[in-house]
Amino acid sequence: MNDLLKKNLNLSKIEFWAATTIYAFAVLLLLTKVADSNYKEIWTPYRYMFNNYHLHYSYSKYYFFPEVFRYTGYYGAFLLWNFVIVPALAEKRRIAWNIILAVALLVALWGLFGITDTWLKGYLFYHKSAEYVYNIVFKTNVLYALWVMMMLTFYSMIKYSASFLLGNVEKIQTKYRVLTHDCIIAIVVFMIIAFFMALFDAPIELISTFVIVGPVAIGIYALSFYSLIPQTLSNNRGIFNYLLKIIGIMIIIGVPIGFITALIFDQKDPVLIIFGFNSGIQILLTAPFAWIVYKRKLAGNQEITYLKTALGRSTADLDFLRSQINPHFLFNALNTLYGTALQEDAERTAEGVQRLGDMMRFMLQENMQEKILLVREIDYLNNYIALQKLRTQTSPDISIVLQIEDHVNALQIAPMLLIPFIENAFKHGISLREPSHINISLQTKENTLYFDVHNSIHPKIANDTEKYNNGVGLENVKQRLVLLYPNKHELVIRESAKDFFIHLTIQL
């Protein structure tokens, strides 16, 4: 049903053709019996009364034509109510006129049902006065007309409620987490079944049992998904512990349900029967069904999370490796440059080449692993920062302050997770024309990593090719944090006109 709404199918056309098909089929069914009535008795609700009074019974006169008029009345009333009156009232258009039209529809149905009922119950005229017959028939059918209007109203309420629920599933789930998508669908199905039970005048015992069992089943299912099953699994307990909780809940809610049942039936036996039937359904069917569905969804979510993590990591790895074409050639070239720099006493150049080589080796080797020692990640950060200092150490207006913990426990972290923040700081925080500063802090406490980067911001020059680039890999690292450390990290990013600050906490 939700898919139908999302595809914007014309519900009005579906309703019109469904009602038309039902009307045509009902009339056709009556017609098929007209020919048979010439040579055999066709059962009708009041034929036995004609037989009791030894009266001639005509199927066409006393049943076919009255029922055709009634079916036409049902059909016309549905079209008028569903496509004219209710939409206008819902949109608050010509309210007074449409209320008058609704009252006129009620009166018309009353007259139609009263007139046709005098033919359906034509046997009454042979032993009662016409005044008595008209009086009793029209009094009875005013209630029937009210019942038909009530069914039309009930249908409209279900239709608009179902459209709202199915069209706002995500909003409802966001506001009321206990209402899962399955629960919303179940509520809609419950309303539809209840409507048909009332429409076809189901026994009061059946309706009462359904009205009690249905909402309780939906509530048990929702509560199981929202609280009972997650708590049971988090405590490493099994399905039997979960079923004991359901039994306790059924005992608790059995008191108010029994009180309501006693008010309806005014007897003890139905109270015990409905209590036993309701408890059996919830414990033996609803609760195990919720457990199975939850476990399957949990397994599916875990698989999706694993695939997303693998995809995110692969994407990040690919971004880092795109520039590493023919790495052996690059290493050989770096070794040559390193030797040349030493021969020419260019110590700064040699140091830069050496650190660059160490960084490339890290990216080619350890970046392929799912997790590495935090010490190795810190070594990479230090190499990068030292390499950047080589180009800034001659500028007295550039301040780089480091507070990076050297000795850390044997903690592990996803590789290349912290470097994008430092790269971003050096890219946007350093200016050779204006005073600049970068403050980097990395500390650990037990299994928690605290990482802070604070840098200045400088306006880009007009011909800067990356003037509108908002940061080196920040979106990439945000995605990786969500995938690799769900609910185990906190990232705070603040920016002012002159400063940029990030604070990252990770439970390793």
Alpha carbons 209 and 199: distance in angstroms, whole number? 17
Give the model's pLDDT for residue 210: 80
Alpha carbons 382 and 401: distance in angstroms, whole number? 12
What element of type H or E holds 453?
strand 448-456
Alpha carbons 25 and 19: distance in angstroms, whole number? 10
Mean confidence (pLDDT) of the chain: 78
Q: Residue 267 corresponds to which tokens in the numbers above?
A: 């007897």
Residues contacting residue 459 through CB under 8 Å, at least 6 positions apart: none
Task: With a cut of 90, say whether residue 348 has pLDDT above it.
Answer: no
Arithmetic mean of pLDDT, 251-264: 79
- 10 Å CB burial of residue 274 (0-12, 13-18, 19+) is buried
| Per-position b or e across 428-442, b if 16+ CB within 10 A of its CB | bbbbeeeebbbbbeb
Residues contacting residue 52 through CB under 8 Å, at least 6 positions apart: 123
Alpha carbons 307 and 318: distance in angstroms, whole number? 16
Task: With a cut of 60, say whether residue 367 has pLDDT above it.
Answer: no
Alpha helices (H) along 393-445 = 419-429
Give the model's pLDDT for residue 503: 94
Pairing of strands 372-373, 448-456: unpaired
Of 22-31, 237-246, 293-302, the least confident: 293-302
Q: Residue 338 corresponds to which tokens in the numbers above?
A: 């390193």
Task: With a cut of 60, say whether residue 471 has pLDDT above it.
Answer: no
The DSSP string of 335-403 is HHHHHHHHHTT-HHHHHHHHHHHHHHHHHHHGGGSS-EEHHHHHHHHHHHHHHHHHHHTT-TTEEEEEE
Q: Which residue has the higher pLDDT, 390 or 323?
A: 390
Instruction: Identify the residue whose tokens are 């306006």.
Output: 459
Task: With a cut of 60, say whether residue 325 has pLDDT above it.
Answer: no
- 10 Å CB burial of residue 466 (0-12, 13-18, 19+) is exposed
Q: Which of 3, 70, 62, 69 is nearest to 33 (CA)?
A: 62
Q: Which residue has the higher pLDDT, 29 or 6?
A: 29
CB atoms within 10 A of CB 126: 11
Alpha carbons 435 and 460: distance in angstroms, whole number? 15
Task: With a cut of 60, say whether residue 46 has pLDDT above it.
Answer: yes
Give the model's pLDDT for residue 328: 46
Q: Which residue has the higher pLDDT, 256 or 332?
A: 256
Alpha carbons 508 and 504: distance in angstroms, whole number? 12
Arithmetic mean of pLDDT, 177-188: 67
Alpha carbons 387 and 374: distance in angstroms, whole number? 20
Q: Which of 216, 208, 207, 156 is nearest to 186 (CA)?
A: 216
Over residues 399-423, the pLDDT tens digits come to 888 898 876 778 888 888 888 898 8
Using pLDDT thresholds of 50, 70 and 90, give the confidence band for residue 346: low
Task: With a cut of 80, say whether residue 205 has pLDDT above it.
Answer: no
Give the model's pLDDT for residue 419: 85
Arithmetic mean of pLDDT, 353-359: 66
Give the model's pLDDT for residue 5: 40
Over residues 79-107, the pLDDT tens digits come to 999 889 988 888 888 888 988 999 999 99
Using pLDDT thresholds of 50, 70 and 90, give the confidence band for residue 450: very high
Using pLDDT thresholds of 50, 70 and 90, give the confidence band for residue 169: low
Helix (H, G, I), strand (E, B) or coil at 121: coil
Give the model's pLDDT for residue 271: 76
pTM of the model: 0.48
Q: Are the beta carbons of 388 and 424 closer than 8 angstroms? A: no
Give the model's pLDDT for residue 472: 46
